Chain A
Amino acid sequence: MLSNGTFLIAVLIMAAAAFATRIAGAVLMSRVRTTRSTDLFLEGLSASVIAALVASLLAQSDLRTALAVAAAIAAMLVTRSVIWAMLAGMACAALISRLL
């Protein structure tokens, strides 16, 4: 069990580190002059960070998750609704669990 004093220091350090990452990108960009290239870079960056997160999670998960993601993407492309996509993915995963 951590003493409350030690815990307080630890949690403040963690909070400061997490907050620093949240403001760092915007603070950094406020010092840079933006051009068409930086805009394109940021556009690619913003889609890529989420895509990379998905790919990284998929690489560490099972076939059930991969099929659920495929169902979600298909539902998104057809319905253009994130809600339907999430429901399709969840239904697919639940179905596979039931069948196996």
Chain B
Amino acid sequence: MRLTLHGILLGMRRLIPVSLFVIPFGTAFGIAAIEAGLDPVQATLASAFVFTATAQFAALDFLTEPVAFVSLALVVLALSSRHIVMSAALSTWVNRLPKSKRFLVLATLSDANFADALPDLQGGQDDLGRLFGGGVMLWVTWVASTAVGAFGGNILGDTDAYGFSVVMICFFAATVAGQVQSRTRLLVPVLVAMGIAVLTLPVLPTGWNIILAALAGGAVSAWLHAE
């Protein structure tokens, strides 16, 4: 496996459109963080160091004196636990890099660059630059748009009127549809996972329904095609 500058630039370019749609979320986080009592520099640093939207939004509830550090850690672990699943799915390729590069690439892992790079890797591409470059692009946008919201949020209006809010979910849905289209054996596992995610949503804590559903989808995939 390689990690080339060419691949990194390709990954960055590929995720420019998706990154544009990260801006409303980052700005919203910046605004929410100020409302929760952080100062603008703190809000921006939180995005720079943590880089995971759902967990950051949830963590805001815990960032008041005195901070319950253990609860804070558990919330972040739970809400970003689907990274564990994505990281395992990438292990086939990532683990062929030297350790330092491996951790550098994985530090930028998030939903969008995972969804973008995976079909390529499965198709035999040997450059992890696309995953990493995509992650860098998302990170820069996430941090910059948080700063915009935190430093100037009150002068921005409602950003939802143009349909931005649906774009991320459309991106994820289209990625899965493309994967299933080129590998039809994934259809049944994917449908099982979607069903389980919806059915367990009311009874499991946020995020855990996705982990359970993903594990079930993996199990179905292994079971259906076992010799």
Residues in chain A within 8 A of chain B (CB atoms): 1-4, 6-7, 9-26, 28-30, 34, 36-61, 64-65, 68-69, 71-73, 75-77, 80, 82-83, 85-86, 88-94, 97
In the complex, A41→B8 CA distance in Å? 28
* Chain B nearest Cβ from A43, distance in angstroms: 6
* Chain A nearest Cβ from B174, distance in angstroms: 3
Assuming the A-B contacts A23-B103, A53-B111, are A76 and B178 also in contact, with contact meaning beta carbons closer than 8 angstroms in the complex? yes
Contact assessment for B91 and A97 in the assembled complex, using a CB-CB cutoff below 8 Å: no
In the complex, A62→B163 CA distance in Å? 13
CB of B17 within 8 Å of the partner chain: yes
Contact assessment for A29 and B197 in the assembled complex, using a CB-CB cutoff below 8 Å: no
Instruction: Collect the chain B residues with CB atoms within 8 Å of residue A12's CB.
Output: 49
CB of B39 within 8 Å of the partner chain: yes
Contact assessment for B77 and A20 in the assembled complex, using a CB-CB cutoff below 8 Å: yes
Q: How many A-B residue pairs have CB under 8 A?
A: 310
Instruction: Collect the chain B residues with CB atoms within 8 Å of residue A72's CB.
Output: 170-171, 173-174, 177
Q: Which 4 A-B pairs have the closest CB atoms?
A: A44-B221, A48-B217, A25-B87, A89-B170
Assuming the A-B contacts A10-B63, A85-B174, are A26 and B94 also in contact, with contact meaning beta carbons closer than 8 angstroms in the complex? yes
Q: On chain B, which size bracket covers the interface?
A: 35 or more
Contact assessment for B50 and A6 in the assembled complex, using a CB-CB cutoff below 8 Å: no
Instruction: Collect the chain A residues with CB atoms within 8 Å of residue B115's CB.
Output: 50
Instruction: Collect the chain A residues with CB atoms within 8 Å of residue B3's CB.
Output: none
Contact assessment for B210 and A18 in the assembled complex, using a CB-CB cutoff below 8 Å: no
CB of B220 within 8 Å of the partner chain: yes
* Chain B nearest Cβ from A35, distance in angstroms: 10
Residues in chain B within 8 A of chain A (CB atoms): 17-18, 21, 37-39, 42, 45-46, 49-52, 55-56, 59, 62-65, 67, 69, 72-73, 76-77, 80-92, 94-95, 102-103, 106-107, 109, 111, 114-116, 118, 122, 161-167, 169-181, 183, 186, 189-190, 192-198, 201, 209-210, 213-222, 225-227
* Chain B nearest Cβ from A36, distance in angstroms: 8
Instruction: Collect the chain B residues with CB atoms within 8 Å of residue A20's CB.
Output: 77
Contact assessment for A2 and B64 in the assembled complex, using a CB-CB cutoff below 8 Å: yes
Instruction: Collect the chain A residues with CB atoms within 8 Å of residue B172's CB.
Output: 50, 53-54
Contact assessment for A56 and B197 in the assembled complex, using a CB-CB cutoff below 8 Å: yes
Instruction: Collect the chain B residues with CB atoms within 8 Å of residue A83's CB.
Output: 17
Instruction: Collect the chain A residues with CB atoms within 8 Å of residue B114's CB.
Output: 46, 50
User: Can you identify 11 A-B contacts, CB atoms within 8 angstroms?
Assistant: A13-B76, A15-B49, A21-B81, A26-B90, A34-B92, A53-B82, A60-B201, A65-B166, A76-B174, A86-B174, A89-B163
Contact assessment for A42 and B106 in the assembled complex, using a CB-CB cutoff below 8 Å: no
Instruction: Tell which of A30, A50, A54, A80 has the most Cβ of chain B within 10 Å.
Output: A50
Contact assessment for B94 and A52 in the assembled complex, using a CB-CB cutoff below 8 Å: no
- Of the candidates A30, A54, A71, A82, the one whose C-beta lies within 8 Å of that of B91 is A30
Contact assessment for A47 and B90 in the assembled complex, using a CB-CB cutoff below 8 Å: no
